[in-house]
């Protein structure tokens, strides 16, 4: 029995994922949609939170040198990436950081490049800021993975008005970890065309099946100077509710611009509990994380066998990282609305429709598998019941 097998009831906890009535119009759906996990955070994190609560004073907080050392130590240990403390800055969340970056690095006439299908706030946030979005569509390969159309990417990056490229590594929704050769090309193109590269690496601690993740800013000095890297303990250790993320900006000029927007919105301090939790997670969470990674790998192998046996028409994209599985259900020849209706009404199951990630995601579904095995089996039974 794994520690991740324990089922914890999350209903009536103000959970975005589980208290679904307002979202799906029903309480009895099994939620396998938004990306948080049904696992408790490591014990050491809970202990750190208790220590802070027992201290009882929850005043304004700025992470100190111990927290910075924990972040640096974590990146060095996990990714062999050495960063300077001066490059560390904070944000409540990565979506907030995206928004601040758009404001800091683009003006009203500027354009932003993204690669759909991709995490939808990338384009939604750009549109909310009324920036023009250029779409470098990812291409589906014959083995049901995505690759990059570099010719098209260069065309979009070379547009004089393109100032920012929002990139996702590992990629959400497909779980692709980009190879070093691909990252070098991307970095070099951004340097060549002087486009700021925001690399959202929030899923990078969750690399599966011995895949190799490289932080793009670790490749060389010129790429590092062009890059803003977003990381967080939130996906890794299930701490999203604590609203504490890290934005790494080596280039002083870029960091000053970003800091100016943080100041504009009064976002220079961090959540007191979030800072303590982050420090404890990065210092003590590795054993827990390694166990989690194995647990998720077993889930994925189970899903592949289950689907092959029960619904072989569905193509499963094996994620290189994280806990989101991308299913190709285009054989159904139904719209995403029709598929969602089937899932919700016949299966009582909530997934993310592919079109939410961009038009070229239509006919796909994203399932969040970060749940105990029993819940996963239940979800797969519902999935097959709805689509068969």
Ligand X SMILES: Cc1ncc(COP(=O)(O)O)c(C=O)c1O
The two three-digit tokens of residue 50, written as one number:
């208790």
Based on the shown chain and the rule CB under 6 A, indicate whether residue 49 belongs to the binding site for ligand X. no
Instruction: Please say which residue, 193 or 318, places its beta carbon nearer to ligand X.
Output: 318
DSSP 177: P
Stretch that binds ligand X, among 50-58, 79-87, 91-99, 306-314 (CB under 6 A): 91-99
Where would I find the beta strands (DSSP E) of the chain? 30-31, 88-91, 111-114, 132-135, 139-140, 146-147, 162-168, 196-200, 227-231, 245-249, 315-317, 324-328, 349-350, 352-353, 364-368
* Min dist. Cβ of residue 231 to ligand X (A): 10
Based on the shown chain and the rule CB under 6 A, indicate whether residue 205 belongs to the binding site for ligand X. no
Based on the shown chain and the rule CB under 6 A, indicate whether residue 120 belongs to the binding site for ligand X. no
Largest alpha-carbon pair distance within the chain? 58
Pinpoint the alpha helices (H) of 110-179. 121-128, 150-157
Using CB under 6 A, pick the residue from 4, 74, 119, 327 that binds ligand X: 119
Stretch that binds ligand X, among 48-56, 93-101, 146-154, 300-308 (CB under 6 A): 93-101
- Between 180-192 and 150-157, two packed helices, what is the crossing angle to 10 degrees? 20
Instruction: Please say which residue, 115 or 172, places its beta carbon nearer to ligand X.
Output: 172
User: Dihedral of CA 328/235/168/337: which sign?
Assistant: positive
Place of tokens 């003006």: 107
Task: Give the residue nearest to ligand X (CB).
Answer: 93
Stretch that binds ligand X, among 88-96, 149-157, 326-334, 363-371 (CB under 6 A): 88-96
Instruction: Please say which residue, 197 or 387, places its beta carbon nearer to ligand X.
Output: 197
Instruction: Please say which residue, 175 or 187, places its beta carbon nearer to ligand X.
Output: 175
Based on the shown chain and the rule CB under 6 A, indicate whether residue 367 belongs to the binding site for ligand X. no
| Nearest Cα to Cα of residue 108 among 190, 163, 159 | 163
The two three-digit tokens of residue 323, written as one number:
């806990």
Using CB under 6 A, pick the residue from 232, 270, 280, 296 that binds ligand X: 232
Residues that bind ligand X (CB under 6 A): 35, 93-95, 119, 168, 172, 200, 202, 232, 234, 240, 245
């Amino acid at each position: 029995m794994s520690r991740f097998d324990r089922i914890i009831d999350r209903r009536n906890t103000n959970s975005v994922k589980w208290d679904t009535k307002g979202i799906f119009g029903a309480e009895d759906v099994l939620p396998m949609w938004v990306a948080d996990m049904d696992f408790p955070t490591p014990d050491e994190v809970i202990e750190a939170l208790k220590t802070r609560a027992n201290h009882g004073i929850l005043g304004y907080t700025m992470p100190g040198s111990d927290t910075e050392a924990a972040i640096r130590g974590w990146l060095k240990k996990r990714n062999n990436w050495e960063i300077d403390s001066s490059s560390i800055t904070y944000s409540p969340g990565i979506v907030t950081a995206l928004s601040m970056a758009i404001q800091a690095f683009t003006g009203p006439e500027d354009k932003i490049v993204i690669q759909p299908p991709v995490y939808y706030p990338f384009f939604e946030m750009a549109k909310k800021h009324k920036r023009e979005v250029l779409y470098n569509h990812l291409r589906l390969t014959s083995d049901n993975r995505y690759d990059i159309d570099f010719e098209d990417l260069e065309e979009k990056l070379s547009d004089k008005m393109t100032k920012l490229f929002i990139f996702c590594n590992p990629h959400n929704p497909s779980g692709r970890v980009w190879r070093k050769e691909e990252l070098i090309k991307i970095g070099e193109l951004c340097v060549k065309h002087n486009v700021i590269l925001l690399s959202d690496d929030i899923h990078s601690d969750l690399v599966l099946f011995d895949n190799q993740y490289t932080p793009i800013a670790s490749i060389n000095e010129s790429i590092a100077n062009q890059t803003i890297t977003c990381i967080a303990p939130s996906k890794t250790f299930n701490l999203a509710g604590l609203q504490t993320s890290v934005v790494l900006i080596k280039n002083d000029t870029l960091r000053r611009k970003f800091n100016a927007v943080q100041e504009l919105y009064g976002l220079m301090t961090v959540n007191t509990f979030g800072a303590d939790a982050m420090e404890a997670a990065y210092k003590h969470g590795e054993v827990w994380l390694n166990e989690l990674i194995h647990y998720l790998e077993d889930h994925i192998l189970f899903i592949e066998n289950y689907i092959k046996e029960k619904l072989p028409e569905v193509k499963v994209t094996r994620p290189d990282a994280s806990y989101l599985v991308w299913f190709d259900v285009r054989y159904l020849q139904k719209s995403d609305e029709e598929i969602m209706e089937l899932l919700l009404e016949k299966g009582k199951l909530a997934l993310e429709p592919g079109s939410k990630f961009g038009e070229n995601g239509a006919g796909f579904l994203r399932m969040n598998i970060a749940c105990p095995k029993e819940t996963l089996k239940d979800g797969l039974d519902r999935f097959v019941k709805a689509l068969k």
